[in-house]
Structure 1
């Protein structure tokens, strides 16, 4: 039985073709075009058409559709995350690296970061999006249902494709000339029954002599996994305390309060904040289970009990958080081509992706302190005149977990639109075919964020201030400084425990609801990233040399990028419990011209089957403007020229050598340049404080010139409020890549192939982040001291990021990125593939991929974990079998061991089982990890296919790390708690 041609399919195809033909659409992709008339193909890493798809001068890993389906994964991002060249450092939907994950997924190659990997679709730039970094491509916006193959160019390629291609290029190539219809359904879940995933897609296409068109619809949904449902992530640091409190690493902002009372009156300070002499014996907390009606209901706060009782007053915030966040995604993708004449085609490629993703974080910690230690917006605390205050004394500080309000819940809505329209064709010039294309891409991403259960600090300040119960009505009322009632204000009971005193009868249900409604609010923010790209290309051959045709390609590109980010009004106004953030606005444009030449030097002579030279160069000129520091600015980025030279030596049919040298660069984008400051509180010591100003390494004269007293500035808190944002002074960073490889396909073993490639990437003027302490040291340390700036100009730049008031106190410190670092990454890629001759037992094939990193002097020590894994070796071994209608795959994924520095964390757990968190050596060993993935499929008689499979079949647990942002393991490993099992059905019509 076959369903390949039926009336339903024909009707859908007719409707599709009619729609696209009216739009003048079609497909003749630059990276995967094989015209029936011209019989040429363009491969990733070059823009010169060739008569056949052959190995180029640069190493390219190709992942075909069959290999993608064998992974059992439903997103392009997950497929790429598992290749050996991926370093595991990019953003994922697993929230161990950042609780601010918005549902995007990036890819980082060679340990160089996602910003240095360029992502293309059919050789064109793709839409970028994301709250964390809107300049990166979210790989999940590329529907996997239309992917024909993915090519990973593991070489510097700025000369071919432009900026950002320092570590390599991901080129996703879509299905073309698709004729028929196909539907897929996918269901999967983790062993524990959570994290349920479902995916459905339908693709239809049709062809004729003059046109072809494809339309694909897909829907994907992923349910959450909670941190509390996995043992390793059920506490802030695994092994660091009992589950109830989180032990030593639980939060001091607990469910019953953690506060310090004032023994003296509040007095103003030179910083504009207040302080007081605290009551001895604090901080205090409410006795568990009590409501704070009187002073005897409180006792001293217990940070941790080492007697085994586990009676810590800390709060275990971990179980509330997501480990795997929920995501819902809907994709519409269409492409088509219409032959206008025998030599000219009109083409379109368009997609719309709508994604909803959620995040859940522990309830807001109300970190009030009159000294402003948590920022000026938090510089208040409950007053002596608060109606619920049982002490009749002002408080200096109060940490209280807003459990009654509920967990913070940001909801991300992301709309992505990508449309590329172009004409292409050929013409005859002197008896030679020339190929051209010209077109326009519109790429737009819009993000809106709605966040529930955040705190309005303006209202909270009033709600914990002076208040009373109305002597006549008994209603709760807030009072201003003059004793007048503040209309609409509802006093808030931070002394009432988690339920605010509702259970003890202190407040009524109506008052409880009114308290929550008054201090809580829903935040709303938005951002938009838009790219407009105009391009034109010409390619062909110039002359026939003795060794073959001299090919060329040249082209022009003009690209404009604009970005706007508008944070919530309360956040920007300093009135939100969410960290303060400034708005961002920026524009950037680039004009580029490139040329590439491929010269066959020798062919068919002893020792040289073919020797060819490939040379490319691209000139780029940038202009940019944006809003930063309260003013509109137009920094000068200038431009540069990228260059590449490659040599391929085919010794004979079995053996080939190749090598490249390239100079690439990455220009700072609008995020790097203009991102508005976001609030943080890093630990840092002011070199101008009273302890450091007389030190031999401190430039005291500079401190005094900037307003510090001769005796130094008082610094009562080790944390300095800082804003992390852009730097308009950034310039492009540069990469120099060398590679050498050998490809061996022995004729004595048909189907066997060996590939070995060496690479070394050296970066200069690297855009690298400098935190608060580094900025202060570079400004105020004397030359020769650790952290001092290299020269006067660099020092002045760092000092411009520090602002002091009239007393010398730091009131504005900005952390940012600078062109400072340099270093290199070196390693090897090794691949073996073998397709055995067919046997009575079926067809067997094997693929073994390896990436070995020799060193990385830029972003970490190889073999060490420093917030991201730096594996020495990643290896994938895949065995495939097929016989008749049956097939199966067994894949093994290997991650080498890591050293995890953990000095200062040598504590033991009490209350469960004593566990040593850090050995005496100060190094926690993260052992090597091997995952096993299996899949089996059966083709049905009705043109369908049923597939079942498992990822991490044996439920291998990830190694424990002491340095991850959260959850005690890194998101580059599979989730803990067992494997993932799935069922998939495919139907072709």
Structure 2
């Protein structure tokens, strides 16, 4: 990847990783060579207790009060997705907007998050081997939400996932509102496996390559696992896909969403109105100017903007465990991962009213003395609009490093009691370099005339056409910023049985935890001063907090097959004080094949550090926006102001869960259905004091729907013409700062079914289906279910077959139909109707042939039918589809070769 970061550091990191790899491979081979060849004597097998996500109490069976989805490594591979992040994101209970390379533009160009239940990526707690992980250094939602980047872990290190679809603040604390994802990394592995994956889209070139290695060895007392990976993917542009090649959506009945910040530029002149030129010109004259017409002259930024960034990732993971005595062991985990993304947006747009200049109002001015101004008057403020196309596309290069180190001790105390204590440090550092930018003061100097650094000539900026390369080089500016979020965690847990009841042992788990969190954001002087043309504006930010926690959990078997789980957690935050949250759950097997379960808990979400301390940012919408209350105004990028709010208080959520699991036993009355399971769960989240911002598009399109939206749209005072026409004042900006809103409600149903059967002649078959149906997702009085980014129905279907050396599978992803946002403006060429975004099926098939015990070859495809995303042309998106829900990538074909030694 041709990026500006240090190549020596790159080469050194890779050399270290592969040196360790070679040593571990040799160790694994030695362990296998020295392994005994005779079969051990027959022994009695004791089932070992293990910890299930959602409970700290170890148990033998996995089914209890918690609604948990367990996803094995094999199931992740069968989904066909090349990244774990993509596989998780397509689960039906992941919905709503979240960070993804296809929709992050300049803020986190290669990060991936998930959004369980549509309650926000920041409300899903991510654990690594049962412990918290540091959030992504560059906060999401334009710098305000602490989220976890799924790309910050080496994919080869991931062994399985557990998804708890229930609130769990009583177990894990803040953030565990909509659920918990526990990413289980490899702990015990012997051997050496390497995988090579190559793939590409069939109608463009987003060539992908990935190499992974896993190796491990163990002795009687020591085990060691090492995993490493490298991946690279080419960029994909919006113009590579027919449906997103232009922001002019009139052909489909939508609006012309191309930008009014044009090339050639346009100016508003007394007596002439708003004029431009039919083509770029080096000799503009007043006579040659034409009246500006958005249908003819608007700028198609989709032509040069990335759909997916150029992306490169690599890293490693090491875990070691050693038994110090028969009752005490030591363990350590060390990982580091780099995520390197390069995204390109359209050339810098200039609206004179949004930039700093020397006009009497402090805005940019295009003076009459400029030889390229043929109109004889000074032109300033919003009367001056143009685009610096000669600079090239604005490039954002994000490099994130995520090191993590954990050391700990554990062991047994007495009977079945175990304990563990650890210390962990983890942080995420993101370095951002922005190129092909321009500064307000440089543009103003060039408009007024500046002496060329090389030629010594006086050079003037021409908003209407080509400019001298020397002047363009004078205007070109780069700026850097850095972001870090750090976490230090210390914890100790203990658990076991306290006494026996007729129905079984009473289990107890207790623990304490202390963590330090710190946020640091550093902006360039020009960014702090708001000098970046057409770009974001931000301030340096620093904040920290300390959190001390204590929790306890009790599992009581009432009668055989029935148990109650009671848990509580007390926490003290240095910034807002104390909180305590309880949980109670119950499960009962009313019949050998029918499990009923339910729970109630109080979940909470502490304000994220960026939400409290961010000094403020100014950003712009990714595409042109139409003011729904002034549809005749030209579409333009929407200015968005977001400021940290130190008065935020924690949000609280009452979480209700209830359902049943149908699972016939092999030797029971329904033994003929053995292998089939069916589950239904009802969920309800009732949040109060919710911390939220709604997105500029939602605020603008619902300005009159609720006071919480109306006071966020900032408009100029009405002119006499506005009053006469019954129009509000012109749109200035949207304030999308976070606030504690009144209420949030989320209700729906989860359905899942699985069936596995084996035959003597035809091999093994497996089928699974999952679906989530939403009844409600509302913020205050605003209901979003069945609208943009929130379909009522999502589901997956998976079918697989294996016989001898051959196996095949197909994974299907279904997204139901839902309504778009707003109405296609007739003033901009739309049909004046509300669009329904159609439902969609995507199919990912693959076939694997195992040449021997050591070699396997897989051929697969994502979106094998090359189905385009359904049209969305009345919303605030300019891509032509809902990129918060759907993918624009197209058919992706891949081959994978696996070698096991």
TM-score by length of 2: 0.86
CA contact (8 A) 1:539 1:554 kept: yes
**What is the CA deviation profile of residues 360-410 of structure 1, one whole-angstrom value per residue up to 9, with x for unaligned ones?**
100011212499799999712211222433333211332111011111001
Q: 1:450 aligns with which of 433, 445, 450?
A: 433
Q: 1:865 aligns with which of 787, 800, 818?
A: 787
Q: 1:41 aligns with which of 43, 50, 58?
A: 50
Q: 2:604 aligns with which of 656, 665, 690?
A: 665
CA distance 1:720–1:43, change in 2 (3 Å): closer
CA distance 1:972–1:287, change in 2 (3 Å): closer
**What is the CA deviation profile of residues 621-662 of structure 1, one whole-angstrom value per residue up to 9, with x for unaligned ones?**
1113xxxxxxxxxxxx11211110011101232111111011
SS in 2 for 1:105: coil
SS in 2 for 1:461: helix
Distance 1:750 1:552 in 2: 33
Whether 1:744 and 2:662 are equivalent positions in the alignment is: yes
Distance 1:303 1:854 in 2: 41
CA contact (8 A) 2:113 2:147 kept: yes
Q: 2:78 aligns with which of 64, 67, 70?
A: 70
Distance 1:756 1:773 in 2: 35
Residue 561 of structure 1, CA deviation: 0.6
Whether 1:587 and 2:544 are equivalent positions in the alignment is: yes
Q: 1:53 aligns with which of 40, 55, 61?
A: 61
**What is the CA deviation profile of residues 882-908 of structure 1, one whole-angstrom value per residue up to 9, with x for unaligned ones?**
100110002222111111143252478
Residue 291 of structure 2 corresponds to which residue in structure 1? Answer: 300
Whether 1:90 and 2:98 are equivalent positions in the alignment is: yes
Residue 332 of structure 2 corresponds to which residue in structure 1? Answer: 348
CA distance 1:770–1:221, change in 2 (3 Å): closer
CA distance 1:374–1:555, change in 2 (3 Å): farther
Distance 2:587 2:480 in 1: 55
Q: 2:132 aligns with which of 101, 125, 129?
A: 125
CA distance 1:416–1:323, change in 2 (3 Å): same
**What is the CA deviation profile of residues 232-253 of structure 1, one whole-angstrom value per residue up to 9, with x for unaligned ones?**
11111433599xxx98322222
CA contact (8 A) 1:457 1:519 kept: no
CA contact (8 A) 1:16 1:215 kept: no
Residue 121 of structure 2 corresponds to which residue in structure 1? Answer: 114
Q: 1:948 aligns with which of 855, 859, 863?
A: 859
**What is the CA deviation profile of residues 751-804 of structure 1, one whole-angstrom value per residue up to 9, with x for unaligned ones?**
11111111111111101227899999xxxx9xxx986689xxxx9xx99x9999
Distance 2:538 2:215 in 1: 46
Q: 2:557 aligns with which of 600, 612, 631?
A: 600
Q: 2:515 aligns with which of 546, 551, 559?
A: 559
Distance 1:415 1:553 in 2: 35
Q: Which runs of 5+ in 1 are unaligned?
A: 1-7, 19-35, 262-278, 305-311, 478-489, 501-511, 604-609, 625-636, 686-716, 910-916
Distance 1:562 1:853 in 2: 36
Residue 984 of structure 1 corresponds to which residue in structure 2? Answer: 896
Residue 737 of structure 1, CA deviation: 0.8
Residue 530 of structure 1, CA deviation: 0.6
Whether 1:617 and 2:600 are equivalent positions in the alignment is: no
Distance 2:619 2:484 in 1: 24
Distance 1:719 1:946 in 2: 48
CA contact (8 A) 1:369 1:381 kept: no
Distance 2:281 2:340 in 1: 41
Distance 1:857 1:385 in 2: 56
CA contact (8 A) 2:257 2:878 kept: no
Q: 2:445 aligns with which of 449, 462, 467?
A: 462
Distance 1:300 1:107 in 2: 47
Residue 21 of structure 1 corresponds to which residue in structure 2? Answer: none
SS in 2 for 1:458: helix
Residue 839 of structure 1, CA deviation: 3.9
Q: 1:389 aligns with which of 373, 389, 400?
A: 373
CA contact (8 A) 1:863 1:899 kept: no
Distance 1:468 1:344 in 2: 75
Whether 1:476 and 2:451 are equivalent positions in the alignment is: no
Distance 1:426 1:972 in 2: 48
Residue 974 of structure 1, CA deviation: 5.2
Distance 2:255 2:597 in 1: 57
SS in 1 for 2:326: coil
Distance 2:278 2:442 in 1: 27
CA contact (8 A) 1:16 1:213 kept: no
Distance 2:697 2:157 in 1: 48
Whether 1:362 and 2:346 are equivalent positions in the alignment is: yes
Q: 1:833 aligns with which of 733, 738, 754?
A: 754
Whether 1:229 and 2:237 are equivalent positions in the alignment is: no
CA contact (8 A) 2:154 2:314 kept: no
CA contact (8 A) 2:497 2:505 kept: yes
* Aligned-residue CA RMSD (Å): 3.5
CA distance 1:733–1:468, change in 2 (3 Å): closer
CA distance 1:232–1:572, change in 2 (3 Å): same
What is the aligned length? Answer: 829
CA distance 1:972–1:388, change in 2 (3 Å): closer
SS in 2 for 1:219: strand
Distance 2:445 2:329 in 1: 68
Q: 2:301 aligns with which of 317, 332, 342?
A: 317
Whether 1:768 and 2:692 are equivalent positions in the alignment is: yes
Which structure has the larger Rg?
1
Distance 1:684 1:931 in 2: 32
Residue 676 of structure 1 corresponds to which residue in structure 2? Answer: 615
CA contact (8 A) 2:356 2:440 kept: no
Q: Decide which moves more: 319-328 or 958-967.
A: 958-967
Q: 1:12 aligns with which of 5, 21, 24?
A: 24
CA contact (8 A) 2:76 2:87 kept: yes
**Map 1:506-585 → 2, pairs under 5 A:** 512-577=468-533, 578-585=535-542
CA contact (8 A) 2:663 2:677 kept: yes
Q: Which runs of 5+ in 2 are unaligned?
A: 1-19, 31-44, 628-634, 665-670, 718-729
**Map 1:920-935 → 2, pairs under 5 A:** 922-935=833-846
CA distance 1:409–1:513, change in 2 (3 Å): same
Distance 2:201 2:358 in 1: 40
Distance 1:12 1:402 in 2: 54
TM-score by length of 1: 0.78
Residue 14 of structure 1, CA deviation: 5.5
**Map 1:789-800 → 2, pairs under 5 A:** none
SS in 2 for 1:877: strand
Distance 1:177 1:666 in 2: 35
SS in 1 for 2:530: coil
Distance 1:650 1:17 in 2: 47
Q: Decide which moves more: 84-93 or 437-446.
A: 84-93
Q: 1:897 aligns with which of 790, 805, 817?
A: 817
